Amino acid sequence: MFSRAPASFQSYGGYATGRLIEIRGRVLRMREHGGPAAPASRWRTLLKTLKLFLSREVADATVEFEIDGEAHRAVSDDEGYVCIQVPRPSGVVGPWLELPARMVDAGRYAVSNDTVNCRVRVPGGGAEFGVVSDIDDTILRTEVERRWRMVWRSLSHDVYRREAIDGAPALYREIERGSVPFFYLSNSPWNLYPVLLRFLDHSDFPDGPLLLRDFGWNGRDERKAHKLDSLRSLLGNYRRLRFLLIGDSGEKDAQIYAQAAEEFPGRVTAVVIRRAGRRDDEAIDAARRSLGRQQIPFHVVDSFDELRRTGAVPEWESGS
């Protein structure tokens, strides 16, 4: 399957801060990258999704990025991942940049000659706050706590069958208002990046970078570490931007968000947790106490429509 497949760069996009531009991606040997242009059978979808996991990563491959007319190179790690950070050039404006990347060398493998455009989010200087949102069971119905059902949904349901949580797209568009930057944080593996990207677009969610993790059946502690480390990176890179954090009750999001708020005082404007799956009242109560000490609004809701009834949305629009 892979004997003649060239090494190619799959961009995972990135974001720009006031100081730097960060781009992520992976060097892989695989034949197909695209998704279905129309609804497909579960069997066909399963086969196409499995191909995303059967790709072969290429280590020590060189990728060249063009940023503001200058070439910058990065080398893939043992699992093919590439991450490059360069100082942000003056005059960079958003809300999005399209930065070209190309393969330079992949050792004993042939390289794809295609130029890949890396989409980089550039929040405007007038943005009062940003949004970090979980995906699974926060905006996408996956039943993450029922592991095998979640796996079946992820592998066999194409973008046309994936179900957005009721009220989520409309609420997110209302919060965004064309200028608030969104970041999507998930324990889903990078292999599902193209699938999740198509889901966000098809379901009319605000566009934004995805922050996923390496594939593996890691334990809960490692999944928690991924989310917390990603939040630390965002809050550390965006030093003047406050964040609204949205998650669900199924994966310790409340605890993770409360810890991030403690580590970065004054940087979290509000926390929203959607009840999903097994209730963890002890964790919710602990997060409520922690956030209460910091006077951070904390909303635990059964549905996003409930947020409108509480009148909570206007406080985010003002960045309070």
Report H helices in the chain: 42-53, 147-156, 168-176, 193-202, 220-237, 253-263, 281-293, 305-310, 313-317
Domain count, the chain: 2
CA distance 298 to 284: 10
Q: Which of the 8 DSSP states describes residue 192?
A: G
Is residue 2 a part of any domain in this protein? no
Q: What is the pTM of this model?
A: 0.85
**Does the pLDDT of residue 106 top 80, yes or no?**
yes
Residue 317 has a pLDDT of: 55
Residue 264 has a pLDDT of: 97
Residues 164 and 312 both lie in one domain: yes
Residues 77 and 154 both lie in one domain: no
Residues 281 and 156 both lie in one domain: yes
Residue 53 has a pLDDT of: 59
Given 103, 121, 139, the domain boundary residue is 121
Give the model confidence (pLDDT) of 147-171 as tens digits. 545 554 544 444 556 688 999 999 9
Residues 155 and 286 both lie in one domain: yes
Given 63, 92, 121, the domain boundary residue is 121
CA distance 123 to 89: 15
Query: For residue 141, what pLDDT band results from cuts at 50, 70 and 90?
Result: confident
Given 101, 121, 141, the domain boundary residue is 121
CA distance 102 to 10: 10
List the domain range (segments joined by +) for residue 247: 129-317
Residue 219 has a pLDDT of: 47
| Cβ atoms of residues 103 and 110 within 8 Å | no
- DSSP-derived pairing of the beta strands 56-57 and 129-134: unpaired
Residues 137 and 99 both lie in one domain: no
Residue 98 has a pLDDT of: 95
Is residue 253 a part of any domain in this protein? yes
| Cβ atoms of residues 268 and 151 within 8 Å | no
Query: For residue 47, what pLDDT band results from cuts at 50, 70 and 90?
Result: low
Residue 278 has a pLDDT of: 66
Residues 47 and 63 both lie in one domain: yes
| Cβ atoms of residues 249 and 216 within 8 Å | no
CATH of the domain at 181: 3.40.50.1000
Which whole-number Å values give the CA distances from 233 to 100, 237, 307, in the listed order? Answer: 24, 6, 28
CA distance 267 to 243: 6
